[in-house]
Structure 1
Amino acid sequence: MSESNVSAPTSLGIKGKRVAVIGAGPGGIAAGVALHQAGFSVKVFERHPELRPLGGAIILNATGIVILRGLGVQVDDIFAAGLPEFRRYDGRVRVNFDIDMDLLKQAGVTGWQSGMMRSELYERLLAAAPADMVVPNHTFSHYEEHAEGVTVHFAEGRTYDADLVIGADGVQSKVREQLWGASELKHLGIAVWLGWCELQGPERKKIVIQHNHAYQMGYAPLRYKDKDCFEWWFVEKCEENQVEPTDPAAYVRERINGFSYPVPQILEATDTSHNLFRWVVKYRDPLKQWSNGRVTIMGDAAHPTSPYAAYGAGMAIEDGYFLAKYLRGRDLSDPKALEIGLRRYDDQRVNYTNQTTAFARFLGRLYHGVPAPLNRLRDLFLDHSSLPEKLISKGVTSEAQALLRAVLNPVD
């Protein structure tokens, strides 16, 4: 559409309060709700004509639950909290995660993490959002900064004036590309099969990650439509253009042969024709800064992660919480006030998420990038060393629990 046919931009509200979020995934909607509660006029733009969650189940931890509760999202009936463990394929425990149970009690949960159906979380986030906050059928094209703010252009020909643009548009983020330039989307070397099933019987107090010399199979309890369920994930080494098997269920079943109860039972209970899909993991080199001028990014646009962090959606929800926290009370039309708020957001999130995603990539390569027969020596090391537990504590649980404390006991 030519510029002459484009009408004047529509203002998103009162100058100084106008926020445009690009992308209506769970992170984008959570950010919209948080910013709305902080007093801003927010629109969340989604390119699809209908709002629909992608994927099956996700993992959330106690920090995400505390944040969602604060946003008015009902989650306690679908958060089947458990404590995570790394185990060998035969059930031998290799690493118990060091979790502060008093901290979990303060957070009002019985465990550190839980599986959760993305669709149910999405529906409940929408229920907590203002009715007109999410705007479908808007495909982001580009933005233009100017003295009065920033104008957002969409491929359908519409334009909107805002004070701040937030790119929550995923691993293929166009906002990130315009803000920081093109970057290579790299292949991590692993693929993940994601599934879920209804199943009663197995213990529901643990989130278990099991490995043999070549494969990982993990599972987590969840509640879905008032039923006991499990989500699960199977991780394998993968070439970038590796052809998918014609019979995914048989393919996974053959590779988990020998895994202990309840892994085979969880797979057998899964409707693999509907509740199983494959994800080839990609990542980008981390940024040292997310925000510049009147634009910032969050979620997978900022920190795409691998399944060894198991927390992409959760980190996106955290991003929205802290962004709203540091912008609350600020006049976004004042460049200095906006700069200070965005700098505090970057300071809180960039290093933390870079560390989390880097450690996840390290674990992915450790378990799936070591060639035979060195992978057998690796397994002997994992069975007889305390170093993995120390690495997990340093790389995952210590920082994550410090973040939960910051959310439970906020200071300006």
Structure 2
Amino acid sequence: MNTKKKIYLDYNATTPVAKLVVAAMLPFFTEKFGNASSDHLFGWDAAEGVEFAREQVSNLVNCKSTEITFTSGATEASNLGLFGFCKKNSSKGKHIISCKTEHKAILDTMKALQNQGFQITYLDVDVEGNIDLEELKNNITAETILVCLMLANNETGLIHPMQEIEKIVHANGAKLMSDITQAVGKIPVDLKELNLDMAIFSSHKIYGPKGVGALYINKKNKVEIDQTVFGGGQEKGMRPGTLNVPGIVGFGKAAEIAAAEMNEEVIRISKLRNKLEEVLEEIEEVIINSKNSDRLPNTTNVSFENIDGNNLLRKLNNLAVSRGSACTSNLINPSHVLKAMGLSDELALSSIRISLGRNTALADIEFAAEEIKNTIDHLKNAVV
């Protein structure tokens, strides 16, 4: 029987729900259980909880509460935003620009749009995962209606220079959408400053419940999208259906806590991540992906040359780490992100993502570093 302690290091996949978040949600399962659309006391209590949460979420990302539409998660938000925008604006053009390293929630939606007659240009990235801003500029045409680029990559933590991207996109008459899911709660995200036209993010990445997300639509920039889901007038008709009131309330509380703790947490987590990487770099034939670029403070993506990736993950059974996105982790395929950065199939498959979080302590990092070093030594000696 394995008696070693087990360490969770996959916070980019999901986070545990904070106790204060659970406490905020509980009354909305029992005493305040009403339908937020009902016109009586129970409904009013539920609706009040939803609108308070909307304020909390909008405060975290610095936007108007009326610019937030609640969804079941970032994936649904991406579908509502992309399909709704393209449906509304297809008369202006049918060209969209994205990137090869986007999350599958975006890439798969792009494929569906392509099947509907839209032309998609996927930008290349360099060995660090950065796009070429000149390539972006050169690919925008009179037919380009939208550029969709994530703020922070979920696998490597790389942060795109969104303010520079925004200037290029808007100067050329297109709109800008961003998947900000991995950045929210980990680094300051100011939607007014970024001047995005649309953005998507999720509750369960910031210690809130699963099954809740948000679509941001910039009112100042007069972004218009068509309704693509039907069946009720909830969320101004953009996302009909009975609201998940407890989940939304939890999302709001998680956002409030993240806003209060973020600055101190960024410093603490950065130190832990840097400490971990210092130890890992003592291993021969190791590569820290995107290390020389701006990254999220909690994320490290490590490749081990001449190591079998399957054996590596099996041996690291005391550590919850991943090969990449949780949405594709059950597939034994090389990461599309790492492949786009130029890694071979073999090296991409022998790479792991380690993402730290609020509950990660120095002792966890020391334990994890030792486990990884010992495992790599064991695998190399076994080959010899």
Tell me which interval the TM-score lies in, with the shorter structure as reference length: under 0.3
Greater strand content: 1
What TM-score do you get using the length of structure 2 for normalisation?
0.25
Greater helix content: 2
